[in-house]
Amino acid sequence: MKPVHAIAGLLMAAAPLAAQTPVYLDDTKPIEERIEDALGRMTLEEKIAMTHAQSKFSSPGVPRLGIPEVWTTDGPHGIRPEVLWDEWNQAGWTNDSCVAFPALTCLAATWNTDMAALYGKSLGEEARFRNKSVVLGPGVNIYRTPLNGRNFEYMGEDPYLAGAMVAPYIRGVQSNGVATCVKHYALNNHEVNRHNTNVIVDDRTLYEIYLPAFKAAVQEGGTWAIMGSYNLYKDQHCCHNEYTLGKILRDEWGFDGVVISDWGGAHNTDQAIHNGLDLEFGSWTDGLRAGTKNAYDNYYLAAPYLEKIRKGEVGTEELDAKVRNILRLIFRTAMNRNRPFGSLCSDAHYAAARKIGGEGIVLLKNDGGLLPLSVEDGARILVVGENAVKMMTVGGGSSSLKVQREISPLDGIRERFSDKAEIVYERGYVGDVTGEYNGVTTGQDLSESRTAEQLIADAVSQAEDADYVIFIGGLNKSAQQDCEDSDRTGLGLPYGQDAVIEALAEVAADRLVVVNVSGNAVAMPWVDEVPAILQAWYIGSEAGHAIADVLSGDVNPSGKLPFTFPARLEDVPAHIFGEYSGTRVRDTLDIRYLDGLNVGYRWTDRQKKTKPLFAFGHGLSYTEFEYGKPRIDSSEMSLDGAVTVTVEITNTGDRAGQEIVQMYVGDRKSSLPRPLKELKGFRKVQLAPGESTEVSFTVDREDLSFFDPDRHEWVAEPGMFDIYVAAASDDVRGKVSFELK
């Protein structure tokens, strides 16, 4: 295709001198004016062509008018390698490696909006350098069950936290003239039967739990695209859903961007025309069903749509609306002459990945101050576990990447400690020895001839005289673990890892550190036997460096959990009430969200007999923080007013560190049942030893409101409210109250 400026020149050469610059190419004109000018020049066939894909990851523009193609790319954690025109396998380029940034669970665990902005800006620069128009992410689906294979791509269980973190991410990406495509809208909370699950959920739960992060993405982040989810809601697939796309997204939230189908998410031409889908990708060519000749011309929004218009069965009003949205996307991205050039695999991007990873690692337990490691000359450190060496950037589904480099945890530990200590490695267990996804291979040989018993015996033998034993295990990106299109079969660690940890604890209980690499909560039957536990997530290219930074104390851990770690799967409401199915079926499957608002800490807060393994918001530091008594500037608040809550935080330890101060609001009495408390604010502050600072939160009507399904509006009822200042959802440090008049 000729470049835009070349085609524009041909058009201008044929035009009268006074009208040489078409309005749609004149970027001094308002975008809406340019859209209407371009739309008026297009033929019916050109409009239809713009509403569906032409290849696996692109849709056509209008070459005749100099309107470029739309090129999309996975994913939310790094820019996917180039693939063949109509296949998932890579195209074999040698210049399409990327930096893998931490998975979004890790970003959420930073509880730091500055990190979200840095993440988005860095990722957007890599996408822009590769000349992409749309990044297919981020994901903000709510963590409803720890079995969901795709939780690692999302931002946890709380809608406020997810919304607060997604907005700066979006603004960072889009500052590069690259659109985010926030996914998966909506109610995509597990992977098994994702194409045929019909979610049945009450309006209040929908609006209070599953929609707020998407609303924040639209109204605060200003995302230019949204991806529909695979599942159904109200018996309509969410890629063309009248209620979620029409009534909520467009009418209530005022979204002016493009709705893109998930790949193969469209199922019906009439619904695709009338129910809000703008741009269709993936049907018939994504492996969901057999391919067909000229497959892209047979999409639901392709020849079938054109035929309906020609027969007079539908008009062109809906088509023009779709094309307007697509043109608006193009003018914001590919035809934005002011967007920067971007950069790929830069030192700055690796530094960003390492910093975000270090801030997201959560210190779950640290009895006796075992961490940070105090390594003396001549020390011996034993590292055990397959996840210490296995590459985690390949696999897991559409977020799989081809990286320029990936520092393994073992290599990071060696780099940091080898000048003083001998670093010994033992496998401990065998998980998944494969290392390939869509033609990208790790090149690692993880084959193993020893039995499980011998692997444990060898690790124990080495542990007996080691100064420190670091077990690095958890999940991986294989099917039925942290992976798209499959869910976990249970909460426990796979591959017999519990037996390895317990055997190590018997000989090195006071010297044992467990580093869990996963995007999900896992059961820890050995939790009382292990003094130090880190939750390390999938950190990407800089995984080994970030983990070593925290183990050594070069970085003081400051991450906090973005979701609850349950002690047992039977403690999770989605499983207590029986509305989850891990068995694949062909027919449409109704899944009722009978847990309602009781997701994560909203449920555990009410339990007296059961406690979580680790609570939402939990995370320790190598220093200590003391909270003063919170104070409020008024004991009363009007409906159109606000109150300010202030608390003093002091670093009482001997290390500089960061603390995440959390603010929850509780309604003492309301006409509808409400959670005991809900997160409505957080601040991350950095303090030197002995330093104090004041943290303030403003609480307004929005923070006090619940969704009334009968009135279909947010309601703040007069009465007494409590504000909790906390270090975690189960660690409240102070409370103040006021009355809403």
Write the pLDDT tens digit of every residue in 675-706. 999 999 999 999 999 999 999 999 999 999 99
Write the pLDDT tens digit of every residue in 105-133. 999 999 999 999 999 999 999 999 999 99
Could you tell me if 468 and 397 lie in one domain? yes
Dihedrals φ, ψ of 342, to 5°? 80, 180
Tokens 């697509």 locate to: 326
Query: Which CATH number is 627's domain given?
Result: 2.60.40.10
Instruction: Choose the final residue of a domain: 555, 576, 606.
Output: 555
Could you tell me if 436 and 496 lie in one domain? yes
pLDDT given at position 594: 97
Of residues 591, 667, 687, the one with CA closest to residue 233: 591
Helices and strands in the chain: count of H runs, count of E runs:
19, 29
Half-sphere exposure of 362 (CA within 13 A, CB side): 31
Write the pLDDT tens digit of every residue in 700-731. 999 999 999 999 999 999 999 999 999 999 99
Could you tell me if 545 and 667 lie in one domain? no
Residue 73 lies in a domain: yes
| Catalytic residue (one of 74, 262, 571, 595) | 262
Query: pLDDT band at residue 285, thresholds of 50, 70 and 90?
Result: low
Could you tell me if 326 and 366 lie in one domain? no
Of residues 134, 157, 260, the one with CA closest to residue 213: 157
Instruction: Choose the final residue of a domain: 533, 555, 577.
Output: 555
Could you tell me if 58 and 176 lie in one domain? yes
What are the angstrom distances between the C-alpha of 527 and each of 516, 589, 613? 12, 37, 9
Query: Which CATH number is 273's domain given?
Result: 3.20.20.300
Q: Which amino acid is at 377?
A: D
Residue 77 lies in a domain: yes
Residue 262 is a catalytic residue: yes
Could you tell me if 372 and 327 lie in one domain? no
Of residues 76, 94, 97, 99, the one with CA closest to residue 541: 99
Could you tell me if 420 and 515 lie in one domain? yes
Instruction: Choose the final residue of a domain: 312, 332, 352.
Output: 332
Contacts of 325 (CB under 8 A, 6+ apart): 256, 257, 258, 259, 278
Please say whether the beta carbons of 663 and 681 come within 8 A. yes
Query: Which CATH number is 521's domain given?
Result: 3.40.50.1700
Residue 589 lies in a domain: no
Write the pLDDT tens digit of every residue in 427-486. 999 999 999 999 999 999 999 999 999 999 999 999 999 999 999 999 999 999 999 999
Please say whether the beta carbons of 98 and 345 come within 8 A. yes
Could you tell me if 382 and 327 lie in one domain? no
- In this structure, of 2-6, 227-231, 260-264, 444-448, the range with the lowest mean pLDDT score is 2-6
Could you tell me if 319 and 377 lie in one domain? no
Residue 574 has pLDDT above 60, yes or no: yes
Could you tell me if 368 and 323 lie in one domain? no
Q: Which domain holds residue 680?
A: 618-740
Alpha helices in 281-316 (DSSP H): 303-310
pLDDT given at position 289: 59
Could you tell me if 287 and 373 lie in one domain? no
Number of structural domains found in the chain: 3
Which residues are registered as beta bridge partners of 160?
none
Tell me the average pLDDT of the chain.
95
Could you tell me if 389 and 273 lie in one domain? no
